[in-house]
Amino acid sequence: MKEALLYQKLDKDKVQCDLCAHRCVINPGKKGICKVRENNGGILYTKVYGQTIAQHVDPVEKKPLYHFYPGTKAYSVATPGCNFHCRFCQNWDISQITHGEILESGHDATPEQITWKAKQTGCRSIAYTYTEPTIFFEYNFDTARLAHEAELKNIYVSNGYMTHEMLDMIIPYLDAVNIDLKAFREETYRRIIGAKLQPVLDNLKKIKQMGFWLEVTSLIIPGINDGPKEIRDMANFLAAELGVDVPWHISRFSPAYKMKDVPATPLKTLQAAKEIGLKAGLNYVYIGNFASDRDMDTKCPQCGYVLIERLNFGIIKNNIKDGHCPNCGTKIAGVGLG
């Protein structure tokens, strides 16, 4: 086990973890809400350093990031556990895991090995994804520094619940982030997710101000967050606070984990949500987890010219020239677009 970063020692050997907005106060012998950080005799340890539960080479589009080096590969890494307990989790088998399972499931991989594998497999970036990178911060912090030395980019796919202290530490090494905005009601975050909405909104604004590339994903779930008013509130927040160029991925829910009785999101709900996003002024709104590939294409917000044609998670054609629309010359938001 490795000693954790970002915690305070309290009296009677208690500790306070300052990695995410839960800020758990942990008694000796106990763990935090994420179950992967343990107080051992007044010292906080991370139990998942180097303990990967998934390593895959993915298209960067699968993160999803559509405006960050499109068509490149991201070496994708996860360790077990999460600081959220979403009843609808689509990756629950690796995120909602018990302590015993963590010990059994991990596959040792040092930051040096991850960086080496990313280079060997021709990846442009390393993505900390599938579970929550915040709770394996020490591991991805060390990996991200090596990745930059090896001229690889670093990507977080996150629920956005980290503290500002953590964000300040990772800033120099992060290049792109996709944050889940899972709902726009505090009550939903509290009841279905086990967290609060406001820290996520605050972090979205801070991440945007920090200047690294940001995209946002919202899983639309029937009966939970699919009302037009809530979707409009989300879209208006994104346009007003993050700017109209932030790409918004509207993603289809499939029955999973503790919400197997909820039906998959109908296509018409997703298309209505996309319309709401466009009406709010957002320039790039995509539908994900659905067969309609044309809803995954990038179009010029000025003239409607198809800039990037996508099929599943692959790219059929990228028409962008030097970051601009070849038809009308409009600058297209993103990094490494072609």
- Return residues touching ligand SF4 (CB under 6 A): 17, 19-20, 22-24, 32-34, 37, 83, 135
Taking the complex as a whole, how short is the minimal distance between the CB of residue 190 and ligand SF4, in angstroms?
A: 15
* Nearest by Cα to 88 from 199, 21, 182: 182
| Helix 267-279 with 228-237: angle, nearest 10 deg | 40
Closer Cβ to ligand SF4, 192 or 231, answer by number: 192
Q: For 250, how many CA atoms within 13 A lie in the half-sphere containing its CB?
A: 30
Backbone φ and ψ for 313, nearest 5 degrees, come out as -105, 10
Helix-, strand-, coil-residue percentages of the chain, each rounded to 5: 35, 25, 40
Taking the complex as a whole, how short is the minimal distance between the CB of residue 18 and ligand SF4, in angstroms?
A: 7
**C-alpha–C-alpha distance, residues 178 and 136, integer Å:** 17
Closer Cβ to ligand SF4, 20 or 285, answer by number: 20
Closer Cβ to ligand SF4, 18 or 230, answer by number: 18
Taking the complex as a whole, how short is the minimal distance between the CB of residue 217 and ligand SF4, in angstroms?
A: 21
Closer Cβ to ligand SF4, 20 or 65, answer by number: 20
DSSP SS3 for 114: helix
Backbone φ and ψ for 87, nearest 5 degrees, come out as -70, -15
Closer Cβ to ligand SF4, 19 or 155, answer by number: 19
DSSP-assigned states of every residue in 210-270: HTSEEEEEEEE-TTTT--HHHHHHHHHHIIIII-TTS-EEEEE----GGGTTSPPPPHHHH
Taking the complex as a whole, how short is the minimal distance between the CB of residue 111 and ligand SF4, in angstroms?
A: 19
Q: With residue 40 as reference, give the H or E element that holds it.
A: strand 37-40
**C-alpha–C-alpha distance, residues 157 and 215, integer Å:** 9
Record the tokens describing residue 191, joined without a space.
Answer: 């009841």
Taking the complex as a whole, how short is the minimal distance between the CB of residue 37 and ligand SF4, in angstroms?
A: 4
Taking the complex as a whole, how short is the minimal distance between the CB of residue 177 and ligand SF4, in angstroms?
A: 18
Closer Cβ to ligand SF4, 19 or 118, answer by number: 19
Taking the complex as a whole, how short is the minimal distance between the CB of residue 276 and ligand SF4, in angstroms?
A: 33
Closer Cβ to ligand SF4, 22 or 153, answer by number: 22
User: Residue of minimal CB distance from ligand SF4?
Assistant: 32
